[in-house]
Chain A
Amino acid sequence: MRVRKEISRRSFLQWAGMGATVAYLAACAPAASPADSAAAESGSAEATEIVLTHWGGEAEASYMLETAARFMETEPGIKVEVIHFPDNYDEKLLTMIAGGTPPDVQMTLRFTYFSFVAKGVAINLQPYLDAMDFEPEKYYDVALRPYTFRGNLYGLPREIDDWVVFYNKNLFDEAGVAYPTAEWTWDDLVENAKLLTKRDAAGRAEQFGYGFAHLSGAKAYDCFVYQAGGRMVDNEDDPAEFVMAEPAAIEGVQFMADLANVHGVMPSPRERTDLGQVNDLFASGKIAMRYGEFWSSVQFLEIQDFEWDIAEPARGVNQATWVGGACYTVNSGTKTPEEAVKLSLFGSGPEGSKIVAAARAGVPPIKEIAESPTFLDVTPPEHIEAAADVFAYGVQPPMSPTFPEWFRTLNAALDPVWVGEQTAEEALTKVSAEVQALLDEGREMLENI
């Protein structure tokens, strides 16, 4: 009957439409389990496969792969699949968990770690660790303390990251100012930072004495609050009350705001509109002292034009600085918890610590590695040991499962303080009740564990 044999445009589209529909449906069918094919390939039926997720850039991707590869060498019976999400990590991890395909081990940031514990997503590692070759005395105190909840470990640190002062030696020499030391007080800081700040006739800054890496001062203001002798909450390990509206804490926040608005030694929010800018300004020699995470020393290695080093931050009433980092946690959905804990322990232990030290991802959590040439002999910075010296007075974020939410609320309330529209006292008094309500909400969650 049909005369025309060639395909008309219409029938082509018609078939293409049907084909696409079928392809759609096929794509929805469950994929063949990769574990089966992997086992078939390697020929060893017992190889257990575990999945590890992490975030970060190229550097993280390469040392996480190295850690996984070394682990598989020592544990031939375990195969590790590393999944790297460069951005929106929390969103992707949560979607994996909600979708019923959780990873076995998830790299977790201090920021969200405690929410994971409170929601029962991160399992108690203690029973497994007790049965393994785990030597807590090899770790720094500050490395394990934040991950200890009711006497049990829920996370194992990958590295310790803390806030130290990076300084440009050339700018100090030029201005005839002595390099910063742990003995510096707030007054020394302000006085010397003034000597290191240069402005043109119109008052526009050409060089700043001091600066932070973060837009709204996140992490930075808690350092100043503790330096001033205040606190964020009554007890960081078991917070019940938000106490930043008390005089010492207010003084700390106000001091930080004044560095920009009164003393003019630090870029104001107007002067630093985007996140990376303070780091860029330091790298281009426009900031003499940059207070920020030790981890970013990696990006300063390429600096050719001047010499730099790190030092401990100045003291107020107290010495204090932020200490954090990332940790391994084991997902409650894992079918192979023992293998997952083994991987976490390996990454956190001496072997993983060596990789972290070589990659300069932070201070290795194992003391003997941090005190060995692997870590200490990398220069610059010449005084790399300062990054471990600050542990003595490290400040840790409060263990509150609602911390991500109330921290954001607090940051929004403090915005007018950084631009000098409100005093620290006004802003903190106003937001106190709202933060307290969120803190209470977090405590209720904990009662159900």
Chain B
Amino acid sequence: MAVRASIASRLNLPAGRLARREALVGVLLVMPWFVGFLIFLLGPMLVSVYLSFTDWDLLTPAKFVGLKNYRKMIFEDPLIKQALKVTTIYAFSAVPLRVVGGLLLAVLLNQNIKLKSFIRTVFYLPSVVSGVAVAMLWLWIFNSDFGLLNLILNLFGIPGPAWLSDTRYVLAAFVIMSLWGVGGSMVIYLAGLQGVPTDLYEAAEVDGANSLTRFWYITLPMISPVIFFNLVMSIIAALQIFNQAYIMTQGGPQNASMFMMLYLYFNAFEYFKMGYASALAWLIFFYILALTLLVFRSSSHWVFYTGSVRGK
């Protein structure tokens, strides 16, 4: 008991036997992830801070070079600008589409329609398929001569572009492809939608609100925490895009799809520049952190939690 109490006080747990028990259970439950984070993430992260100040080819011992990697990153490497540019354009196009698309889909599939769970499964299924298989599949969809996409465009008399080999279209191709995983966010929205109390809708209906008004004034605010969650997760995922580009374009044509993670990978495992790759990793980390913080900051204006007053 004494040991428990001291652990409890050290962890700053609330007093009271039941509350302490609850808190301890909580700590125990997060333990696997917490220990996993300490061992498999925090350690390597700290090492990569050090490595980013060295020249390391993975094969011979690392040599300390001070700020050289960061200097190269900021002043000398033209590909960084390109990588930041294409990654940002991709994220800013793919994230809104995914967040809004997922929401619309969830609202549609939350209605009482026939074969509801079947259709939901159909939309969710793509999120389960592995990244490599998906990329191989989309290679065929985007094929300029025989691909499904251009075949459909041809039906409408639109000559389809060479999606993956034209610098003007390759990013668009990746954005289109990103909608493939929209079922993942849809499922989370669905859970959110089902958590909205029906009495709110009933009250609004009595007051004569039409469905659009109900959606705008009840549904949206009530699921805003879910939108917030999906937005943050989508931003992080979009800025880390790698698999698709690695398999489908290798960053081409003319580096038009040279995303940050891809460039990092090439430096680390093909050019033997692990030190520089570590510096790049921190650049990506802070870029993602900055955007995420921005979204978090803005959240007080548009995210509504039950039990608190909007805007506070």
Q: A interface vs B, CB < 8 Å?
A: 10, 13-14, 17-18, 20-21, 24-25, 28, 88, 90-91, 94-95, 97-98, 115-116, 119-121, 204, 215-216, 269-271, 273-274, 402, 404-405, 408, 411-413, 415-416, 419
Evaluate whether A21 and B35 lie within 8 angstroms (CB atoms) in the complex, with A269-B165, A419-B165 already known: yes
Residues A119 and B59 in contact, CB atoms below 8 Å apart: yes
| Any A CB within 8 A of the CB of B224 | no
In the complex, the number of residue pairs spanning A and B with C-beta atoms less than 8 Å apart equals: 98
In angstroms, Cα B270 to Cα A10, docked, is 49
| Any A CB within 8 A of the CB of B93 | no
Pick out which of these stretches binds chain A: B118-126, B212-220, B230-238, B248-256.
Answer: B248-256
CB distance from A98 to the nearest CB of B (A): 4
Pick out which of these stretches binds chain A: B84-92, B141-149, B187-195, B288-296.
Answer: B141-149
| Any A CB within 8 A of the CB of B113 | no
CB contacts (< 8 Å) of B255 on chain A: these are 412
Enumerate 17 A-B pairs (CB-CB under 8 Å) in ascending A order.
A14-B25, A14-B28, A17-B29, A21-B31, A24-B36, A94-B59, A94-B269, A120-B60, A121-B59, A269-B165, A270-B144, A270-B165, A270-B166, A271-B144, A273-B163, A274-B140, A415-B253
Our pick among B31, B36, B143, B274 for the contact of A273 (Cβ within 8 Å) is B143
In angstroms, Cα B160 to Cα A204, docked, is 14
Interface-central residue, A98, A274, A413, A419, by most chain B CB under 10 Å: A274
| Any A CB within 8 A of the CB of B16 | no
Residues A269 and B270 in contact, CB atoms below 8 Å apart: no
Instruction: Identify whether the interface residues of A are mostly helix, strand, loop, or mixed.
Output: helix
Chain B interface extent, by class: 35 or more
| Any A CB within 8 A of the CB of B11 | no
Residues B139 and A270 in contact, CB atoms below 8 Å apart: no
Residues A404 and B36 in contact, CB atoms below 8 Å apart: no
CB contacts (< 8 Å) of B251 on chain A: these are 412
CB distance from A271 to the nearest CB of B (A): 6
Instruction: Identify whether the interface residues of B are mostly helix, strand, loop, or mixed.
Output: loop
Residues B32 and A21 in contact, CB atoms below 8 Å apart: yes
Residues B142 and A273 in contact, CB atoms below 8 Å apart: yes
CB distance from A410 to the nearest CB of B (A): 12
CB contacts (< 8 Å) of A405 on chain B: these are 266, 270-271
Residues B266 and A408 in contact, CB atoms below 8 Å apart: yes
Our pick among A17, A97, A404 for the contact of B271 (Cβ within 8 Å) is A404
CB contacts (< 8 Å) of A269 on chain B: these are 162, 165, 253
Q: Restricting to B174-202, which residues have a CB under 8 Å from any CB of A? A: none
